[in-house]
A and B are shown apart, each in its own frame.
Chain A
């Protein structure tokens, strides 16, 4: 339960790396984890023959066979419901939900069973299910291909939630999820699936749960973000005429409170960026933690830059909905206006 090392003070990884996109890193991870553990299987819609609509599962069926990379019937609640039973038979299912907003039917199983089953067996049975899905907006897609549903998942007891923002974290966090004994939801920001390339360690690579990543150090304001919003926060930090620290939350649950509080203790100001709608979003939880535990460190109100409390818009106006660099800069200037 104690944090023995911080992600930022680990020695640089000297293992060989490849430059991969985020979705290539996901694919790399699945190949490594299926080879490592014969009880891991991948299941979902179009994950086998097609290799996934984003190619995240490409090549798995050829290497590991149709029983370990399973094209399922088109039924999200059925995918997650049968995954519960597969765990009881000793499997570690990795379920792909094809899109964020198509995952909602699986909430029935997630809320009523996946998050509760271990508890109702008094801890006797583990349900090591991984649920991964492309998530988030900004990709000029049709309706219901753009949602940020993290709050539904984070709010469900018994579930852990991870959001990588870099290719290396996409591999390392997914590996951690697959190896974890508890159910884990991994939300992969599809906006940066192919727009970002980065070094990814070859072979086994695991990023421990519960540790945030300091993307950029600064002293006047902390920008807290995750997923595709990390890049927006970074760009805002570059343009800001003050010193901004950028914190990538990475694991929404369990949250690395220590990293959040340490950063805000240093800067005294926080701006939280999330693309999901504002009300009861994950940013509200971050703000509540700061209110409870950092109030005396704060020099200004905590501000949120979020999507609006409206349905995710059709794509001709989606840029107006998404948190933008100017909106983040505006919030930064507001908090910096307090002495």
Chain B
């Protein structure tokens, strides 16, 4: 069994670029990080303007989200938690779909099979068994593929994480478990979640190899997940990848972290945030200049302007959407309930 590493794995300082990433790849990775960053920053504004509801901020998590999904093939699956709500963007999902989700509108209920992106898991860790089951199911069907599941540090305290990780290991499921350890589960620090020295240590209990990486280093995340996905596809089973960083934004728009967080630490951590670090690397390599950086941002911002406009142009959801998606073969009562609702609404409108 592979031991989990004592130190954070860093590839930024290595001389060569990570395997499988040419210059175009590095720039595409940058484009995806900016897309995610822009989605997050604009969404906070939209929330303040009352155009979307409560929103879970992921500012500073872009390296984990873009890095962990970059090694995946089109047919591989992604299982997001709410922190990765916009992860479909890396697959080309329109921003309007995710914005609609945060507007509570049915236009945001995407078809997971279309994007190989599962629905956003709002409860904690319950998506881990889903990902284990899907990956196991792919293996049983003889389909070459794998899945990546995202969850936070707090999720490792949940029974669902344990059962999902154990199933994945027992069933040799081609799964990469990506733990977004941002140190905080709302206000509870990771030290209050576990007596394990690292979250990666937990993997040993499942007979699963683990890697710890710097979660603000997109290349380290990419390289760890690339190796894990390769191993998974080759029949080697699941891997636990702990991405270590520090949450520098509130948990969500409804949260005020000043009550519990160390604000000086936040300031220090912000200085090494993932987008700035990666851009400095790209500039050192001569791949990025001001013009290109501006063009990538402008493109992302235009996508968001188009996205919010499209989301706000969605017609009001019809009452049939209460019932229609619930069951493939609905009971007669649905028809009666819908007719009744329409009758009352029509009478009220008169």
Contacts and interface: CB of A to CB of B under 8 A. Distances in A.
The answer on A and B forming one complex is yes
Interface of A: 1-2, 41, 67, 72-73, 75, 77-78, 80-91, 105, 108-109, 112-113, 117-126, 157-158, 160, 180-182, 209-210, 253-255, 257
Given A75-B166, A126-B328, A158-B326, A112 B111 contact: no
A209 B166 CA distance: 36
A77 B163 contact: yes
Interface stretch (B51-59, B128-136, B237-245, B288-296): B128-136
A118 B130 contact: no
B137 A90 contact: yes
Given A88-B113, A181-B329, A82 B133 contact: yes
B136 A86 contact: yes
Contact of B329 (A81, A83, A125, A180): A180
B112 A113 contact: no
Given A89-B134, A108-B126, A112-B126, A82 B328 contact: no
A211 to B, nearest CB: 12
B129 A84 contact: yes
A126 B328 CA distance: 7
Given A81-B160, A121-B119, A210-B331, 4 more contacts: A73-B166, A82-B167, A88-B118, A180-B328
Nearest to A91: B137
B133 A1 contact: no
B166 A78 contact: yes
Given A78-B167, A91-B140, A117-B119, A182 B329 contact: yes
Interface of B: 77, 106, 109-114, 118-119, 123, 126, 128-138, 140-141, 143, 159-160, 163-164, 166-167, 170-171, 321, 324-333, 335
Is chain B's binding surface mostly helix, strand, loop or mixed?
helix
Contacts of B119: 117, 120-121
Contacts, number: 151
A123 B328 CA distance: 7
B230 to A, nearest CB: 20
A67 B140 contact: yes
Nearest to A209: B329
Contacts of A121: 109-112, 119, 325
Given A113-B126, A122-B106, A90 B141 contact: yes
B172 to A, nearest CB: 11
Nearest to A254: B331
A158 B188 CA distance: 34
The residue among A72, A82, A122, A157 with the most chain B CB atoms within 10 A of its own CB is: A82
B164 A82 contact: yes
Contacts of A117: 119
A245 B213 CA distance: 70
B335 A118 contact: no
Contacts of A82: 129-130, 132-133, 136, 164, 167, 171
B130 A81 contact: yes
B333 to A, nearest CB: 7
Contact of B134 (A88, A122, A182): A88
B111 A85 contact: no
Nearest to A181: B328
A73 B167 contact: yes
Contact of B129 (A67, A109, A209, A210): A109
Contact of A157 (B137, B141, B324, B326): B326
Nearest to B77: A88
The residue among B109, B112, B324, B328 with the most chain A CB atoms within 10 A of its own CB is: B328
Given A77-B159, A182-B327, A182-B328, A88 B137 contact: yes
Nearest to A258: B332
Contact of B325 (A77, A80, A122): A122
Contact of B111 (A91, A124, A160, A255): A124
Contacts of B113: 88, 124-125
Nearest to A253: B331
B281 to A, nearest CB: 36
A118 B327 contact: yes
7 contacts: A67-B140, A78-B160, A82-B171, A85-B130, A109-B126, A112-B126, A255-B331
A124 B333 CA distance: 22
A338 to B, nearest CB: 30
A67 B112 CA distance: 25
